[in-house]
């Protein structure tokens, strides 16, 4: 049975991604281009979102994998993943991402000339950041593709043996209010022992902390959906408890980040608080979604299909708008509002009139062919 709450969560979290990326234009953290005025206060809501926004997407993706394997063999699933992920990634790297790199080079005075002086002659010279060829915000796609292919034998075994010991253990823990918190142990080990040595680069080959922790979350998604109603019943009934845990966890985390100097003790303690916090918020969102969002609608059907092209397109549109706003002497509210509305509107126009209605274009942006 289709879980409409999962579809809603997917749409809402990807929608939030647009707000987050626009926020990156205004905060002190590194980004492709920056506003002429930086707003330190914006870091706090950004830090809150940053803890769980990507982890929950990997969990949701793992849940979607369970459904996809229900009606496909391992080989069919592998080809479906390649078509749905590799083709849009390739199109994105060739056509969607280069304008972002071009704008960054203009701002940093690393290039002069029109866009067509840059693309394609220079756009594919070398690997970013030293060169210009990059997948930028589309890094999520190759990671998801590799996770899907690597774990096919594991997933097929688990589906063929639904009463295996590990699935039974997950099912047992899922019936307990706090049983699912055992799952933070592998995440803690990654945070404590990998994170100090491997910075998050999104470059795949040297991104071991992000790669392994994200694959664990992807695997968790598959396992949680496989125990079915035990999981949904527990998170719905205990959503308020998880919310209290999340509020406490985030408060402690902010206190540690801004109130204590870096040390070995702080690192290992903060690593635990971080994974406890992010896991609590993931359970919060699943719980409230199960309670209030597990219902179909025409709006959901439209948004669920559009979210993938929106994800591919949004950052390029956002940076183009930001390029023309960055040096204007305007305040935060008008710039932020224009970037949000412009990014959503621009993505929608391209999706509605340039992608959704065209049979040959749809697969290039990860959409299925329309049924007759």
What does the DSSP assignment read for 1-50? ---HHHHHHHHHHHHHHHHHHHHHTTSSS--SS--SS--GGGHHHHHHHH
User: Angle at CA 288, nearest 5°, toward 175 and 180?
Assistant: 30
Neighbours of 241 (CB within 10 A): 15
Would 327 be classed as within a structural domain?
Answer: no
d(CA 306, CA 92): 16
Which residues have C-beta within 8 Å of that of residue 242, sequence separation ≥ 6? 235, 280, 281, 283, 284, 287
Which residues have C-beta within 8 Å of that of residue 131, sequence separation ≥ 6? 125
Would 274 be classed as within a structural domain?
Answer: yes
Longest dimension (CA), the chain: 63
Tally of domains within the chain: 1
**What torsion, rounded to 10 degrees, do the Cα atoms 14, 15, 16, 22 define?**
110
Helix (H) or strand (E) holding 62: helix 43-70
Nearest to 108, CA basis, from 32, 5, 177, 19: 32
Neighbours of 303 (CB within 10 A): 18
Record the tokens describing residue 352, joined without a space. Answer: 């509605």
Would 360 be classed as within a structural domain?
Answer: no
End-to-end CA separation in angstroms for the chain:
24
User: Angle at CA 88, nearest 5°, toward 303 and 90?
Assistant: 160
Residue 130: cis peptide before it, omega within 30 degrees of 0: no
Record the tokens describing residue 227, joined without a space. Answer: 């125990």
Cβ–Cβ under 8 Å, residues 90 and 138: no
Record the tokens describing residue 303, joined without a space. Answer: 């948004």
What pTM value is reported for the model? Answer: 0.95
Structural domain range at position 280: 59-97+139-292
Would 77 be classed as within a structural domain?
Answer: yes
d(CA 272, CA 88): 36
User: Angle at CA 70, nearest 5°, toward 66 and 74?
Assistant: 85
Over its length of 372 residues, how does the chain's per-residue pLDDT go in tens digits?
A: 678 999 999 999 999 999 999 999 999 999 999 999 999 999 999 999 999 999 999 999 999 999 999 888 999 999 999 999 999 999 999 999 999 999 999 999 999 999 999 999 999 999 999 999 999 999 999 999 999 999 999 999 999 998 999 999 999 999 999 999 999 999 999 999 999 999 999 999 999 999 999 999 999 999 999 998 899 999 999 999 999 999 999 999 999 999 988 889 999 999 999 999 999 999 999 999 999 999 989 999 999 999 999 999 999 999 999 999 999 999 999 999 999 999 999 999 999 999 999 999 999 999 988 765
Record the tokens describing residue 316, joined without a space. Answer: 């390029």
Would 41 be classed as within a structural domain?
Answer: no
Would 369 be classed as within a structural domain?
Answer: no
Would 16 be classed as within a structural domain?
Answer: no
Give the CA distances from residue 134 to residues 33, 58, 90, 124, 322, in Å, rounded to whole numbers and listed in that order.
Answer: 16, 22, 10, 8, 20
Would 188 be classed as within a structural domain?
Answer: yes
């Amino acid at each position: 049975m289709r879980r409409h709450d999962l579809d809603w969560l997917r749409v809402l979290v990807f929608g939030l991604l647009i707000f987050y990326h626009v926020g990156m234009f205004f905060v002190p953290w590194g980004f492709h281009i920056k506003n002429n005025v930086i707003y330190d206060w914006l870091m706090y809501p950004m830090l809150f979102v940053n803890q769980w926004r990507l982890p929950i997407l990997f969990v949701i993706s793992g849940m979607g994998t369970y459904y996809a394997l229900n009606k496909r063999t391992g080989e069919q699933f592998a080809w479906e993943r390649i078509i749905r992920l590799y083709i849009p990634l390739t199109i994105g790297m060739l056509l969607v991402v280069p304008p972002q790199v071009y704008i960054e080079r203009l701002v940093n005075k690393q290039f002069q000339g029109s866009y067509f002086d840059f693309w394609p002659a220079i756009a594919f010279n070398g690997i970013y950041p030293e060169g210009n060829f990059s997948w930028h915000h589309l890094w999520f796609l190759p990671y998801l593709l590799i996770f899907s292919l690597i774990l096919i034998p594991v997933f097929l075994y688990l589906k063929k043996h639904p009463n295996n010991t590990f699935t039974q253990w997950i099912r047992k823990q899922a019936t307990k209010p706090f049983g699912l918190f055992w799952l933070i142990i592998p995440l803690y080990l990654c945070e404590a022992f990998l994170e100090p040595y491997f910075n998050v680069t999104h470059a795949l080959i040297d991104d071991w902390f992000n790669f392994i922790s994200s694959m664990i979350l992807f695997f968790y998604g598959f396992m949680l959906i496989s125990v079915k109603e035990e999981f949904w019943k527990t998170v719905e009934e205990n959503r308020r408890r998880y919310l209290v845990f999340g509020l406490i966890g985030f408060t402690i985390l902010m206190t540690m980040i801004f109130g204590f100097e870096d040390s070995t003790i702080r690192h290992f303690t903060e690593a635990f608080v971080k994974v406890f916090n992010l896991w609590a918020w993931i359970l919060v969102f699943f719980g409230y979604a199960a309670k209030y969002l597990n219902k179909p609608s025409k709006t959901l059907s439209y948004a669920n299909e559009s979210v993938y092209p929106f994800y591919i397109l949004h950052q390029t549109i956002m940076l183009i708008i930001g390029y023309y706003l960055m040096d204007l002497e305007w305040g935060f509210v008008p710039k932020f509002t224009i970037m949000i509305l412009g990014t959503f509107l621009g993505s929608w126009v391209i999706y509605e009139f340039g992608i959704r209605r065209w049979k040959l274009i749809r697969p290039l942006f990860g959409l299925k062919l329309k049924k007759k």
